[in-house]
Amino acid sequence: MKLKRIVVWFRQDLRLHDNEALHYALERCDEIVPVYVFDERQFFDKTSFGFSKTDKYRTQFIIESVLDLKKSLQAIGSNLIIRIGKPEDEIYEIAKEVQASWVYCNRERTQEEVEVQNKLEKNLWSIGMEINYFRGKMLFYTQDLPFPVSHTPDTFSSFKKEVERIVPIRKPFDTPTSIAPISISIDEGQCPKISYFKLPEPQVDDRSVYHFKGGETEALARLKEFIWEDEAIKTYEDTRNGLIGTNYSSKLSPWLAQGCLSPKTIFYEVKAYETERIKNKSTYKLIYELYWRDFFRLMAKKHGNLVFLKGGYHDKSNPNWESDWTLFNIWKDGRTGIPFIDANMRELQQTGFMSNRGRQNVASFLIHDLKVNWLMGAEYFESMLLDYDPASNYGNWNYIAGVGSDPRPDRHFNVLTQAKKYDPEGEYVKQWIPELSDVPHQKIHDLESLSEEEQIHANIRLGDDYPKSIISTKKWSH
C-alpha cells in the first residue's frame, strides 16, 4: 500500500512540545518529513528604511534553534531537512520529491508570513496538493473566544475582561517520543553558518542580561530555572521593571518569538507552581503579560496591515513625525546625551535585548520628544531585537505612538522621572556608559545640572567625552 507521507513545515514553531501541526501529522500519517527553510528574504532583504531585516543576534539565535530542533528530531528517530531559499519553492519541491499527501504547518498571521503561505498554497494546488493549517502561537484559541476576531475589543482592558474568566487555556499537546525515520532518500541539506548571511558572529557581552542561546532545549531549561529553581516568578510583579540581571523578568521572549517555547506550556507550568508552591500577584502577572502578547496578535489579525502604517489602525498619523535621519541616528547610536536613553540603546546595539521599561522609554522619546517617524524605530527594533515578533513589536510601537490600542492619545513618558525611579543609583546607566562612572548618582540622570566644577570632579567634559543633551531636560524637572 502507498505510504501516506506529510511534510511538516517548521516555521516560528521550532519545537517538539505542544506543536499542533506536528501532533496531527504524526496522528494522521505513516511518515512525516520535517523541513525548515531559511527564507532568504528574511536574511538578505532590507526593511523599507534600509535596515537588514534580521541582524546578527536573531540570525544566530535562529540557527541555534534549527540545529537544536534537528538534534531533537534525530534523537527520536527522525531528522530535519534544511533548505535555504523561498519556502514557497523549496517546500513545494520537497513535497513533490517525497510524494507527500499534504503539507502541515502552524499558521502565521502577519503580512509577509501570510504571503509566503499563500504562494506555497497556490504552488501546491497546481499539483493537487494542499496545506493544512494549525495553531500554536497563542495562549487562547480564536475559536474559544467569545467574539469573532473582527470584533476583538481594541483596548487591552476590555479584551482581558472579556476573555480572562471564561476562556479556558487548552492543554498542551504531548511531546512525541519516537518518530518513524524518513524512508525516502532525500538530501538533508546543511544548516548555514552565520557567515553565509554575511553577518559577523555576535560577541558575548558580559553585561548582557542573559546569554541567550536558541532552541527548545534552552527554552525549557530557562523556564524551569525562572519558575522552579530560582523561583524568580514569586517576586516578578516587583522586579519586572528592572534593568539589570537575569531574573528581573523571565527573558523568555526570544524563544517565544521563534516558537521554541509554547505559551500554553508556560501557563501550565505557572499553574503547577501555584499548586505546589505559591500563588500570588506575581504568578498571575506573568500570565497577564502573555495576555498582552495574544492581544497584539489579535490586533494584527483584526487590523491587518494597518498596524504597519504610520497612522496605525486609527489613521492618526502626526504630521510632525518626520523621517529625520540625523535625529534617528543619534538615538540609534545612544548619543542623545540623555543617559537613560543612551544606555538602553547601547544595550540593544551590543546584545540584541532591552528591558520592557527601556523599550517604552526609548520609543516614547523618539516619537514624542524627537518627533521622528515611529516606523524608523520600529524597523530598527525589527532588525536588532533577539525577540522580534511582528505583532508584539508593531503593536507596542502603535500603542506608544497613540495610533493603536492605547485609549490615551499621547503616551509620553517623562524620561527623567522614569530614570530616577527605575535606576535611582545610576547603576544601569554607568554599566552601559562607563564614561559617566564618576558622576554622582544624584546628578547622573540630569547632566544639564552638572556645573563646570562638578564635571572636573567627575572626570567628564560634556560635549567632548559624552554628548550634551540633544533636548533640554528642564521640561521634565518639574
Ligand X SMILES: Cc1cc2nc3c(=O)[nH]c(=O)nc-3n(C[C@H](O)[C@H](O)[C@H](O)COP(=O)(O)OP(=O)(O)OC[C@H]3O[C@@H](n4cnc5c(N)ncnc54)[C@H](O)[C@@H]3O)c2cc1C
Which residues make up the interface to ligand X (CB under 6 A)? 240, 249-253, 256-257, 286, 289-290, 292-293, 296, 355-356, 359-360, 363, 381, 385, 387-389, 392-393, 396-397, 400
| Positive/negative CA dihedral, 357, 360, 363, 365 | negative
Please, are residues 212 and 251 in contact by the beta-carbon 8 Å criterion?
yes
CA 89 to chain centre: 27
Looking at the Cβ atoms of 14 and 290, the one nearer to ligand X is 290
How many angstroms separate the CA atoms of 35 and 58, rounded?
A: 20
Cβ 149 to ligand X shortest distance, Å: 18
Q: Where are the beta strands (DSSP E) in 118-221?
A: 130-134
Phi-psi region of 451 (alpha: psi -120 to 50; beta: other; left: phi over 0): beta
Q: How far is the CB of 245 from ligand X (least distance, A)?
A: 11
Q: Report the candidate in 317, 309, 219, 319 with the shortest Cα–Cα distance to residue 269.
A: 219
Task: Kindly state the smallest distance separating residue 297's Cβ from ligand X, in Å.
Answer: 9
* Bridge partner residues of 102 (DSSP): 6, 130
Between 257 and 300, name the residue whose CB sits nearer to ligand X: 257
Q: Residue 259 CB, nearest distance to ligand X (Å)?
A: 12
**How near is the Cβ of 378 to ligand X at its closest, in Å?**
7
CA 442 vs CA 337, 358, 424, 447, 453: distances in Å: 17, 20, 8, 10, 15
Alpha carbon distances (Å) from 373 to 110, 315, 364: 22, 14, 11
Give how far the C-alpha of residue 75 lies from the chain's centroid of Cα atoms, to the nearest Å.
Answer: 28
Q: What is the DSSP string of 336-403?
A: SS-HHHHHHHHHHHHHS---HHHHHHHHHIIIIIS-B-HHHHHHHHHHH-TT--HHHHHHHHHHHHTS
Rounded least distance, CB 377 to ligand X, Å: 7
Minimum CB distance to ligand X smaller for 83 or for 359: 359
Q: How many CB atoms lie within 10 A of CB 398?
A: 29
User: How far is residue 341 CA from its own chain's centroid?
Assistant: 20
Q: How far is the CB of 279 from ligand X (least distance, A)?
A: 18
User: Residue 197 or residue 388: which is nearer to ligand X going by CB?
Assistant: 388
For ligand X, the closer of residues 256 and 444 by Cβ is 256
Smallest separation, CB 349 to ligand X (Å): 15
For ligand X, which is the closer residue by CB, 59 or 455? 59
Give the whole-angstrom CA distance, residue 33 versus residue 15: 15
Is the Cβ–Cβ distance between 92 and 130 less than 8 Å?
A: no
Identify the residue whose cell numbers are 560634556: 462
Q: What is the closest distance, in whole angstroms, from the C-beta atom of residue 200 to ligand X in the complex?
A: 22
Closer of 97 and 205 to ligand X (Cβ): 205
Give the Cα separation of 80 and 36 in Å (integer): 7
The least CB distance from residue 32 to ligand X, in Å, is: 29
DSSP label at 228? I
CB of 359 to ligand X, least distance (A): 4
CB of 215 to ligand X, least distance (A): 16
| 256 vs 436, beta carbon nearer ligand X | 256
In the complex with ligand X, the residue whose CB is nearer, 385 or 419, is: 385
Q: What single-letter DSSP state applies at residue 442?
A: T
Nearer CB in complex with ligand X: 132/356: 356
Q: What is the closest distance, in whole angstroms, from the C-beta atom of residue 53 to ligand X in the complex?
A: 13
Identify which of residues 82 and 256 has a Cβ nearer to ligand X in the complex. Answer: 256
Contact of 245 with 353, CB cutoff 8 Å = no
Which C-beta is closer to ligand X: that of 132 or that of 158? Answer: 158
Q: How far apart are CA 395 and CA 381, in angstroms?
A: 12
User: How far apart, in whole angstroms, are the C-alpha atoms of residue 338 and residue 477?
Assistant: 13
C-alpha cell at 119: 504562494
Give the residue carrying C-alpha cell 497612522. 311
Closest CB to ligand X among residues 123, 258: 258
